[in-house]
Amino acid sequence: MKNKVTIVENSKTGNVVTMKTITDKATGESREVGSVMVQSKALSGLSRIGRVSTRTAFLTLEQDALDFLADSLVHNAVLPIAGKIVVEETLSPYIKKDGKKQDPKINPTTKAVITYQGKPVYRNTYFTNILETQDIFLKDVAVSGGSDSVE
């Protein structure tokens, strides 16, 4: 079964497209863009206990792209662009719009911060139309008695 990427409405506003202003750091130019939440669901963990895994990402679209896709941007509709949502784990947090750093990945059972070689791990997702793109998961390659683990 092929995973499909679907469009999801904002649970607070009921809108599929959330308009926001972005500013180019290099030029200082501001413009309005639309943000669209997309999700994909897939079976995972089949070697242990099968469950459905949901991946969420946001597409930022210029006005011309919003106009082009206008009829297709409907809640629960399949995104009319071939692609997938990719997971990327990194040791560098992104900086949020309010200036705060992204929160590190947390082990849901122990509530401990997940680390890789002693540094916190950050999980990001993004949509790509390059179907060959693979997930990037950090894994401890050194055998140690420490608490470093990525789950």
Query: What average pLDDT does range 46-59 have in this prediction?
Result: 86
Answer whether 104's CB lies under 8 Å from 122's CB.
Answer: yes
At 150, is the pLDDT very low, low, confident or very high (cuts 50, 70, 90)? Answer: very low
**pLDDT the model gives residue 143:** 32
HSE-CB at 139 with a 13 A cutoff on CA atoms is 4
Per residue in 94-130, pLDDT (tens digit) is 888 788 999 999 988 899 999 998 999 999 999 999 9
**pLDDT the model gives residue 82:** 92
**pLDDT the model gives residue 142:** 34
Q: Which two tokens stand for residue 88?
A: 């990327």
Per residue in 29-45, pLDDT (tens digit) is 999 999 999 999 988 77
Above 90 in pLDDT, residue 85? yes
**pLDDT the model gives residue 2:** 61
At 25, is the pLDDT very low, low, confident or very high (cuts 50, 70, 90)? Answer: confident
Query: What average pLDDT does range 11-24 have in this prediction?
Result: 92
Above 90 in pLDDT, residue 65? yes
pTM for this model (two decimals): 0.79
Name the nearest CA neighbour of 59 among 94, 29, 17. 17
**pLDDT the model gives residue 51:** 84
CA dist 41 and 76 (Å) reads: 12
Least confident of 21-25, 50-54, 69-73, 144-148: 144-148
**pLDDT the model gives residue 108:** 87
Answer whether 23's CB lies under 8 Å from 29's CB.
Answer: yes
Answer whether 18's CB lies under 8 Å from 34's CB.
Answer: yes
Alpha-carbon dihedral of residues 130, 140, 102, 30, nearest 10 degrees?
Answer: -30
CA dist 30 and 21 (Å) reads: 6
